[in-house]
C-alpha cells in the first residue's frame, strides 16, 4: 500500500509560455501528490517523521516565480526535480495554466507527470 500527501491548488504567477506570453506574469496552479510511507509518522505523531507540506508549497511557488520556460511540461519537470529532495517514493505533478484555457474557450489546460 502506498500512502500519499496531496497538496492541491498551489498558486503563483510566473513567466512561462511562448515569448509574448512571458512579458507579463500569469497565474499557474499546481497540484502535488507525494507518495511516501506515512505509517511511522502517524504512529509517532511527529512532524519530523513526515513531509512538511508547507515547505512543499513554498518550493513549488519558488520554481514558478524564479524560472522562465516555454512549456508547462518543462515547468512540471522542474517542479518534480526540486521536490525530489524531500525523499518521497514518487511524485505526481499537475500544472494548470488558467489563462491558456480561457484563450482556448476550455475549462482547463494542464500537464500531469509522475516521477
Q: Is 97 a catalytic residue?
A: yes
Q: Are 84 and 38 in contact (CB under 8 A)?
A: no
**What is the separation, in whole angstroms, between the first and last Cα of the chain?**
18
Instruction: Measure the CA–CA gap between 55 and 85, rounded to whole angstroms.
Output: 11
* Distance in angstroms (rounded) separating the CA atoms of residues 85 and 72: 21
Q: Which three cell numbers stand for residue 47?
A: 512532524
Catalytic residue chosen out of the listed positions 51, 97, 100, 110: 97
Contacts of residue 48, Cβ cutoff 8 Å, sequence gap at least 6: none
Any idea which residues carry the catalytic annotation?
Answer: 97
Amino acid at each position: 500500500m502506498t500512502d500519499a500527501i496531496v497538496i492541491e491548488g498551489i498558486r503563483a504567477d510566473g513567466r512561462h509560455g511562448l515569448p509574448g506570453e512571458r512579458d507579463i506574469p500569469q497565474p499557474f496552479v499546481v497540484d502535488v501528490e507525494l507518495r511516501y510511507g506515512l505509517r511511522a509518522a502517524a504512529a509517532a505523531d511527529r512532524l519530523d517523521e513526515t513531509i512538511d507540506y508547507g515547505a512543499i508549497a513554498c518550493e513549488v511557488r519558488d520554481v514558478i516565480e524564479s524560472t522562465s520556460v516555454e512549456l508547462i511540461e518543462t515547468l512540471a519537470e522542474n517542479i518534480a526535480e526540486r521536490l525530489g529532495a524531500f525523499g518521497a517514493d514518487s511524485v505526481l505533478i499537475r500544472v494548470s495554466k488558467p489563462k491558456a484555457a480561457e484563450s482556448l474557450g476550455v475549462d482547463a489546460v494542464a500537464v500531469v507527470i509522475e516521477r
